[in-house]
Structure 1
Amino acid sequence: MSAPSPRPEVHRLPNGVRVVCDPIPGLQTIALSVVAGRGARSEDEARSGWSHLLEHMVFKGAGGRSAKGIVEAIEAEGGNINAATGYERTSFQVRALRHGLDLGSAVLADLVQRPTMDADDLRREKQVVAQEIAEAADTPDDLVFELAQEAAFEGQPLGRPILGTPKSIGRAAPESLGDWRAALYAPETLIVSAAGAVDAAELLRLAERDFGAMTPGLAVPAPEPAAFHGGVRTVARPLEQANVVLLLPAVSVQDPDYFALRLLAEILGGGMASRLFQEAREKRGLAYAIDAYSETYADVGVLGVFAGCAAEDVAELVRVTAGEIQGLLRPVGEAELARAKAQLKGSMFMGREGALARAEQAAGQLLLFGRLLDPEHLAAEVDRVTAEDLARLTGRLLAARQAAVAVLGPKAALKAAADADRLLFA
C-alpha cells in the first residue's frame, strides 16, 4: 500500500507574508508563485491600468539585473518566468528544475521589491502597453467581453479594462508607479506558494530570507462592493460574424451557491453535451462557437454566454439562449446533473495535476478563504448540489431583472441586443 501524499503546509512570517508548501511526489521540477491579493480592482479611474503596467515594468530591471539578465538567469537553470494581472490579484511565477527554487525565490523577490523603474524604460513600456490596448480593440472576441463587462459594472473598477487606457497609463511616472508598487505588493497581501519537488524547511528559509524584511505597504482603500447594473453595448464592425456576450448577475466565490453556479454554467453551455451547444449549434446551426461560463469575485459574480454567429442569426440566437436559461427554472434530470458534476470534478482535479496550477490555486484559496480547501472537500461540495438548488439559483439570477448584452459585428446584428431583456424576463 503506497504512502499517502504529503499535505500542503501553510506558514506565516512575522510581517504577514504567508508561505504555502505543496510537495508533489515524483516530480523533478518546482513551481513558485508570488501572489499579491490586489489587482486592477484596487485602482481608481485615474490609475486604471497601472497594476498591469507595473507588472510589465518590474521585468525591465530589478535587483541589479537587467531585463535580459532576469530571463537569462532563470533560463540558465532550465526554467521560465511569467506574470499575470487580474482584477483581484497579481501573480509572478517561476517554473524550474528542483534546484532552481533558491534562484527563483531571489528573482521574484527582486521583482516585487526592487524594480529599477527607469524613466526611459517606462516611456517605452507605455508604448508597448498602448499597442496591447490597440490589439485588444482590434480583436473582436476580446473587445466584446470588455464591452459586456463595462455594461455590467459601469463606472466601477470591475467595469474598466485591466489594461487601462492610453490616457490613464500615460499619467504614470516612475515615482508614482513606485508608490503604487509599495501598496499593491504589500506583505500583508502577499503569498509565496510553491508546489512540486519542494521541501517545507527550505522554502520557509528562502521565504524568510527574501520576503521576511518587507515592511507594511502604503494604505489602499478596500474596493467598494460591486453593483451589477446591466445594459447594452454595441459596436458596428465590417466582420463576417457577429460576436455576442450576455451576462447575468450571479453569486460571489464565497456564496453558498458558488458550486451550484459552476454546475449551472456547465449544464447551460460547458461542453458538447450542454444545452446551448446541442440546441443552438447541433440542432439549429446558429453558431459554430457557443459556451457558457461563470466568473466570480470576492463579492459578486456573473453567469455568461458567448457566441459567434452570422449577423442574420443573432436575434434567433438570443431567443434560444434566453429560452435555455429560463428552462433551468425547472429541475434538471438526474443523468444531466450527474454528467455536469462529473465534468466539473474532472476539470477541478485535472487542473490540480500541474504544479503551477496547484501553487496558484493554493494562493487563491488563502486569499479568498484564509485556508486551503482539500480536493475531497471540494468534491463533496459539488456532490451536495441538488437539482432543486439549480432551479432556485436560476430564479435568483433572473429575479434581479438585469442583464448586460454586448454585440460586435455587422450593423444588421446590433438591433437584436435590445431584445435580451424582453426575452429573459418575460
Structure 2
Amino acid sequence: MFGTLQGPELARTHTLGNGVRLVCDPVPGLQTVAMVVAAGRGARWESRRQSGWSHLLEHMVFKGAGGRSARQLAEAVEVDGGQMNAETGFERTVFHVRTLPQGLDGASALLSDILLRPTLNPSDLARERRVVMQEIAEAEDAPDDLVFEMAQSAAFADQPLGRCILGDGPSLRRASPSALSDWRACLYAPDRLVVSVSGAVDEDAFLRLAERDFGRAEPAAMPLSPPEPARFTGGTRTGDRDLEQANLVFLTPGLAVGDPDAWAAQVFAECLGGGMASRLFQEAREARGLAYAVDAWGEYWSDCGMIGVFAGCEAGRASRVASLVADQMIDLANAPREAELARARAQLKAGLFMAAESLLSRAEQAATQVLTFGRPLTMSEIGERIDACDAAAVRRAGSRILASGQSAAAVLGPPAAHPAAEIFRQRLARAAPAGAQMT
C-alpha cells in the first residue's frame, strides 16, 4: 500500500499507490495540527484562453463539494475549532486547514471532497465570476499591486508567467462547469498532489485517513503537458496616475529553484534590499532620502527565476532611484562585502527557521520541498546551504543574474517619473559584457 522513505528529523514521507505523496511531521508538545494539500500545478499550465481558470476553480471548490454546501463545508471545519483557506500560484495551488487534533479526521475528508469532488454548480459559477471580476478591479485600483502586474507582463511578455493569475473577463466567461471539471482533473491529478501534516498528529492515524480520502484519486483522462520554458523578454511599462508617490518595480532574470546557485541568489537579493541594513534601504532612504519604501526579493520557479526591486518615491526623484538601483545591483555582483553577506545569511536563516515554527508554514514548506526536491529538507541542511554562500558564490550568482543585460521595469504615477523605467534598463544593458548570456 505504501512505499516508505525515511524523512529528515521527525518528518517521514510516504507514497500512496496512486502516486499521492504524504508528509507526516509530528511536533511534540503542541495542541493543534496543520494539514496542507499542495497541487504541483497552477496558472503556468493555462493557455491564453484559460487564463484565470486555476484561481477561479480554487474559488469554486469552496462553493460546495462532496454533497455539502458552502455553509456546511465551513461549519465542518469550524465545529472543531478549525480554519481553512487556499491560494493559487503560477506553479502550485495550496489548500490548508489548521485545527485541533480531533479535527484532523474531518479536515482530511473535507479537503479531499474539495479537491476531488467539487459540485461546480452553474449558478455558483456565475456569482463567483462576478466576485473574481471585483477582485481584478480592486487590484487595478491599488497602484502598489498594479505596478507589479505591469512589470511582470513586461518581463514575460505573451507567456503564462506574464499574465495575471486572476485572468480577465473574456477568459473567465469561457469557463463553464464542465470545462472547470476537466481542468480540475488535470490540475489536481494524484501524481502532483502532496498531503502534508504537522503538529499534534499520530502517523498511523494520518496514513489511514490519507488512504481513505486520497487513495482512490484517479489520474486525469488527458494529462497536462509541461508548460513551455519561460523566456525573460524584458521591456518597460508605464502608466499615468494622479498619485502623490510614483510606484516603481525593476526586474532582472533570476535562477530556477533547483539551480545550484539559487541559494546564493537569495543572499544576493537579501544584501540588495532585504531589511533596514540592506544596501538599497541605507542608500536610497537613509543616506539620500530618495524613497520612503524600497525593498528587494527573489522569485524561484522550476525553470527560471526573477530578482525584483520595489520603490515608492516622489515623481521627480524616480530617475535617480532607478540609477541607484541599477548601480547597486552591478556593484553587489562585482564586490559583495563580508559584513553584508554575514547579515544576509543570518537574516535568511532566521526567516526560514521562524517560518518553521508556524505549523501551517512548516506543513506547506515540506509539501513544497517534496514537489521541488522530492523530499523535505532538514533545517540543518538548509542552514548549510545558506552558510555556503560566500563572496565567490554571490559574485557568481550576481554575474549570472546580470549577464544578459536584460531587465524589465514598470512605473505607475505622474509622467515625470516615467523615464525611470528606460533609465534602469539602459544602465543594466550597458554594464553587461558583450554577448554575455545567463547559463
TM exceeding 0.5: yes
Per-residue Cα deviation, 1:40-68 (whole angstroms, up to 9, x for no partner):
01100000000000000000011111111
Match of 1:416 in 2: 420
For 1:367 and 1:230, how far apart are their aligned partners in 2? 29
Asked whether the equivalents of residues 9 and 378 of structure 2 are also in contact (C-alpha less than 8 Å), the reply is: no
Match of 2:190 in 1: 187
Q: CA deviation at 1:6?
A: 5.6
For 1:410 and 1:425, how far apart are their aligned partners in 2? 25
Q: Which runs of 4+ in 1 moved over 3 A?
A: none
Match of 2:351 in 1: 347
SS of 1:425's equivalent in the other structure is helix
For 2:72 and 2:197, how far apart are their aligned partners in 1? 23
Match of 2:79 in 1: 76
- Cα distance change of structure 1 residues 6 and 28 upon mapping to structure 2, 3 Å threshold: farther
Asked whether the equivalents of residues 322 and 424 of structure 1 are also in contact (C-alpha less than 8 Å), the reply is: yes
Match of 1:329 in 2: 333
Q: CA deviation at 1:425?
A: 2.9
1:119-130 matches, within 5 Å, as 119-130=122-133
Unaligned runs of 5+ in 2: 1-7, 431-439
For 1:15 and 1:165, how far apart are their aligned partners in 2? 35
For 1:367 and 1:122, how far apart are their aligned partners in 2? 30
Per-residue Cα deviation, 1:213-241 (whole angstroms, up to 9, x for no partner):
11111311101111101000011111111
Match of 1:15 among 13, 18, 31: 18
For 2:247 and 2:297, how far apart are their aligned partners in 1? 16
Asked whether the equivalents of residues 334 and 399 of structure 2 are also in contact (C-alpha less than 8 Å), the reply is: no
Match of 2:396 among 376, 392, 395: 392
SS of 2:418's equivalent in the other structure is helix
Asked whether the equivalents of residues 7 and 23 of structure 1 are also in contact (C-alpha less than 8 Å), the reply is: yes
> Is 2:255 the counterpart of 1:251?
yes
Match of 1:36 in 2: 39
Match of 2:53 in 1: 50
1:273-352 matches, within 5 Å, as 273-352=277-356
> Aligned-pair RMSD on alpha carbons?
1.0
Asked whether the equivalents of residues 331 and 390 of structure 1 are also in contact (C-alpha less than 8 Å), the reply is: no
Asked whether the equivalents of residues 63 and 70 of structure 2 are also in contact (C-alpha less than 8 Å), the reply is: yes
For 1:9 and 1:395, how far apart are their aligned partners in 2? 38
Match of 1:26 in 2: 29
SS of 2:375's equivalent in the other structure is coil
Q: Which moved more, 1:415-424 or 1:86-95?
A: 415-424
Asked whether the equivalents of residues 63 and 124 of structure 2 are also in contact (C-alpha less than 8 Å), the reply is: yes
Match of 1:236 in 2: 240
Match of 2:377 in 1: 373
For 1:417 and 1:334, how far apart are their aligned partners in 2? 31
**Number of residue pairs matched?**
422
Asked whether the equivalents of residues 406 and 428 of structure 2 are also in contact (C-alpha less than 8 Å), the reply is: no
Match of 1:107 in 2: 110
For 1:8 and 1:417, how far apart are their aligned partners in 2? 47
Unaligned runs of 5+ in 1: none
Q: CA deviation at 1:399?
A: 1.3
For 2:195 and 2:416, how far apart are their aligned partners in 1? 51
> Is 2:68 the counterpart of 1:65?
yes
Asked whether the equivalents of residues 6 and 23 of structure 1 are also in contact (C-alpha less than 8 Å), the reply is: no
Match of 2:94 among 86, 91, 95: 91
For 2:191 and 2:392, how far apart are their aligned partners in 1? 41
SS of 2:357's equivalent in the other structure is coil
For 1:172 and 1:366, how far apart are their aligned partners in 2? 31
Asked whether the equivalents of residues 30 and 198 of structure 1 are also in contact (C-alpha less than 8 Å), the reply is: yes
Per-residue Cα deviation, 1:119-151 (whole angstroms, up to 9, x for no partner):
000000000000001111111111111111111
Asked whether the equivalents of residues 331 and 388 of structure 1 are also in contact (C-alpha less than 8 Å), the reply is: no
SS of 1:254's equivalent in the other structure is coil
For 2:334 and 2:406, how far apart are their aligned partners in 1? 20
1:128-207 matches, within 5 Å, as 128-207=131-210
Q: CA deviation at 1:260?
A: 0.4
Q: Percent identity?
A: 56
For 1:379 and 1:228, how far apart are their aligned partners in 2? 30
Match of 2:407 in 1: 403
Per-residue Cα deviation, 1:138-197 (whole angstroms, up to 9, x for no partner):
111111111111111111111111001111111000111111011111011111100000
For 2:298 and 2:41, how far apart are their aligned partners in 1? 21
For 2:337 and 2:62, how far apart are their aligned partners in 1? 51
For 1:11 and 1:352, how far apart are their aligned partners in 2? 21
